[in-house]
Amino acid sequence: MKTDRSMNTHALSWLAPYKPSSENPWDAAAAAHLLRRTALFHDRTRMAETLEDGPEASVRKLLEGSRPGPEQEAHEQSFALVLAGESRRDLRAWWWYRLLVDAHPLRSRMDLFWHDHFATGLSKVRNTRWMAEQLMVFDRLGLGRFGDLLETVAKGPAMIRWLDNESNVKGRANENFARELMELFTLGRDQYSEKDIKEVARAFTGWRIRQNAFFFDHSRHDRGEKTILGKKGRFDGDDVLKIVLEQKSCAWFIAGKLLACFVGPGYPKAAQEELAAHLRRNDGRIDMTLDLLLRSRLFFDPRHRGTRIRGPVEWMIWALRSLGAKAAPDRLQRAAREMGQELFEPPDVSGWDEEEAWINAATWIHRHNLASALGQSGLHPDLEVLVPAEGARAELTFLLRTWFPEGLPEAERQDLERRLGSLDAQPRNKRLALMFESLLMLPRAHRF
């Protein structure tokens, strides 16, 4: 994980509460930053409430979420059909629609975070029910204790199949899950030895799937003594999970992942030490850790705004939900795949390469095509209702305030007004398509 060692370590804690000041005020830029990193979007209502509530109350609301509306409740009831069916298309569509209507957007954001962290692919698991159940584990436990989340994911049929624990038996230990457990899920590289991997693999022998659930087969388990991270005993898989969670490097590793997500790749190393200590003191509670981080002076430091590059899913959710629009989940799924991010199909066990890796010549063309398509009512029949029909200049002003509530640099805004503010002679659907294309392809539209 890259950190910015050039930043000075202040005597004041990096995680001390943010106090608005004349140099760093609580304004539209700060509120938009909070919502972009946590909810991924900022519609006008949410922006107004966030500005009025202030940073502390806003973070509390984000952690609590809102009550689901009728649309989300109806959508949640359809989950049983997803579990009962075998359609990958329906499963992906279900998640996409949920991303568009969830009244708890921070929870949805964490679903994406944990899906990347515990990267599991449907192409190998080949069971939509197991993948859907894993998603709901992220949803249910993703803001709770990390230990509970780790154990439930590890024992889920999707992970057992994904990392070959079904073939991990006494005398022929399979090391796949053991290696990824320590390197990618809990400790990070260089925190264990190859001997530890072999011993951990022995401890997980006997973990299998029976009737769509975890099953421990005693007859296939290696009961011999093992030495793992300096401890000796006749350990099984449950023992190993406890051992790795007790390592200081586990809290350090998870703190780094949270900082990279919410602060960005340039976070100071001292902040990782502080956040890891807080995580340990609070029994690995992710919600309590985010409560501290999202109210901190580090999070609201203007130097960390706009430093991350939106992934395809993040970009589309920002563009659509900020406007209050929706689009056909199948179309969004196809577009995300073309841009390099297919839900339920991470490229490998380490998840997606992010930041600059999201943008290349091919993916940029697909972003451009989707930006233009989003401005056409074929993707959203109510689009022309969502954007008030008051002439080109008023429409442009509306869209600018929606997507960039903090405002644009004066020269950039004037250039857009010159190019797009005099399109009244164009048919409205073509005018909106040109505006969407121009605004959603601004470099700042791909950073948050």
Give me the average pLDDT of each 10-residue run along the chain (448 residues).
41 89 98 98 97 98 93 87 89 95 96 98 96 97 98 98 96 97 97 98 98 97 98 98 98 98 94 97 98 98 97 97 91 95 97 96 95 77 80 94 96 93 89 93 97
Residues 6 or more apart in contact with residue 434 via CB below 8 angstroms: 375, 420, 423, 426
- CB of 86 closer than 8 Å to CB of 125: no
CB burial of residue 95 (10 Å; 0-12, 13-18, 19+): buried
The whole-angstrom distance between residue 273's C-alpha and the CA centroid of its chain comes to: 22
**What CA–CA distances, in Å, run from 28 to 24, 35, 46, 317, 425?**
11, 10, 12, 20, 33
| Cα distance between residue 294 and residue 270, in whole Å | 16
Pick from 180, 265, 173: nearest CA to 224: 173
- CB of 158 closer than 8 Å to CB of 135: no
For residue 389 the two structure tokens come to: 């029909």
- CB of 7 closer than 8 Å to CB of 284: no
pLDDT at 377: 63
| Cα distance between residue 115 and residue 92, in whole Å | 13
Cα dihedral 309, 312, 317, 318 sign: positive
Residues 6 or more apart in contact with residue 110 via CB below 8 angstroms: 138, 142, 143, 286
- CB neighbourhood size of 418 (10 A): 9
Q: Residue 263: phi, psi to the nearest 5?
A: -105, -40
pLDDT at 380: 64
Q: What is the DSSP string of 145-196?
A: BHHHHHHHHHTSHHHHHHTTGGG-BTTB---HHHHHIIIIIIS-TTSS-HHH
In terms of residues, how long is the chain? 448
pLDDT at 326: 85
Dihedral Cα 13, 19, 25, 31, nearest 10 deg = 90
- CB of 203 closer than 8 Å to CB of 237: yes
Per the listing, tokens 């577009």 go with: 335
| Cα distance between residue 72 and residue 58, in whole Å | 22
Type and span of the H or E element at 231: strand 231-233
Pick from 317, 312, 314, 301: nearest CA to 264: 301
pLDDT at 378: 57
Q: Residue 43: phi, psi to the nearest 5?
A: -70, 170
pLDDT at 2: 41
pLDDT at 5: 38
pLDDT at 55: 98
**What CA–CA distances, in Å, run from 437 to 59, 363, 419, 440?**
32, 15, 12, 5
**What CA–CA distances, in Å, run from 429 to 177, 372, 377, 393?**
52, 11, 7, 15
**What CA–CA distances, in Å, run from 186 to 118, 138, 258, 352?**
10, 16, 13, 18
Q: Residue 428: phi, psi to the nearest 5?
A: -60, -40
CB burial of residue 5 (10 Å; 0-12, 13-18, 19+): exposed
Dihedral-angle region of residue 229 (phi above 0 means left; psi in -120 to 50 means alpha; beta otherwise): left
